[in-house]
Amino acid sequence: MKLLNDMALFVEVIKANSFRGAAEALGIPNSTVSRRIAELERRIGLRLLNRTTRRIELTEGGRLYFERCRRIVDEARLAHEEISELVDNPSGLIRLSMPIDFGVVYLAPLLAEFAERYPQIRFDLDLTPKRLDLIRDPVDLVIRIGALPDSQLIARPLGTLQRSLFASPGYLARHGVPDSPAALLQHECLRMLDAPWVLHDTQQRLSVAVEGRYLLNNIGMLRRLALLGQGIAMLVDEMISEDLAQGRLHRVLPDWKAEALPVYAITETRLVPAKVRVLIDFLSDQFNRG
């Protein structure tokens, strides 16, 4: 990098036809220009300039070196300008993996809004439930919910998803409305994991060993069974907001919440393309909006 900077300085000296002119153009001391050109000559083992009190002249080797340096510096400057354009106006394909139900219900409208802002970006969306290997699989960005396994990948927290308890009006009419976490032991509970439900209000945190006939691993199926009156489900608030507004689901124990789920944007490296970086920043802003 220092060599490239000194090459650019050498080109500037020739264009200005003096050390002083180059120093003024670059805003650095004249002595610095003189010292760096002398260091450049020592590094390449060739005298580039003949200096007089009034002007500088290129040596034969200096003329050849100048022509090469000018092309290299121009290419570097053009590359910088093109990269700056990519940063200011991101474009290209983003290969994105996400959980199926979270992607369909929650991320789809966010991606549509993002696509309106960045019309030059295209998407290849992977909604398969398999765990991807970012090193082997052709994916730029993975969105994951919940605790992450230890890995060398880069995980950036986007936000959290609040979870509460919900049931259909039909289920509550048949089985009654629980009035405490302990009362959940008398109800059919739709479970994603064979583990107690951890709930908290403003004063305490409780673990309830709920039971139920259904044990599953799909949020969409969990929501569907709750809508069909099969039991009480722990669901992400944002993902059933329409069901709640339309009265298809009711809150159960509204003063009690489940542990929030963290959401992460995962990449193989911190040095991501501009198109991926702006998407991560956009999603982070949306999660933390309000």
The residues, ordered by sequence, that sit 6+ positions from 259 with a Cβ below 8 Å of its Cβ are: 163, 198, 200
Report the C-alpha gap between 122 and 189 in whole angstroms: 41
CATH 1.10.10.10 domain residues, the chain: 2-81
Q: Name residue, tokens 């069909």.
A: 228
Query: Does domain 2-81 match CATH 1.10.10.10?
Result: yes
CB atoms within 10 A of CB 144: 20
CB atoms within 10 A of CB 150: 5
CATH 3.40.190.290 domain residues, the chain: 163-259
What is the CATH number assigned to the segment(s) 92-154+263-287? 3.40.190.10
What's the topology of domain 163-259?
Answer: D-Maltodextrin-Binding Protein; domain 2 (3.40.190)
Residue of 280, 282, 284, 286 whose CA lies nearest to 140: 280
Report the C-alpha gap between 132 and 257 in whole angstroms: 31
Count CA atoms closer than 13 A to 259's CA, side-chain side. Answer: 13
The residues, ordered by sequence, that sit 6+ positions from 169 with a Cβ below 8 Å of its Cβ are: 247, 248, 250
Q: Average pLDDT of each block of 10 consecutive residues along the chain (290 residues)?
A: 84 87 88 91 91 81 90 82 73 90 90 95 86 68 84 87 96 97 96 90 94 91 96 94 95 95 89 89 87
For the record, the structure tokens of 112 come out as 């549509």
CATH 3.40.190.10 domain residues, the chain: 92-154+263-287
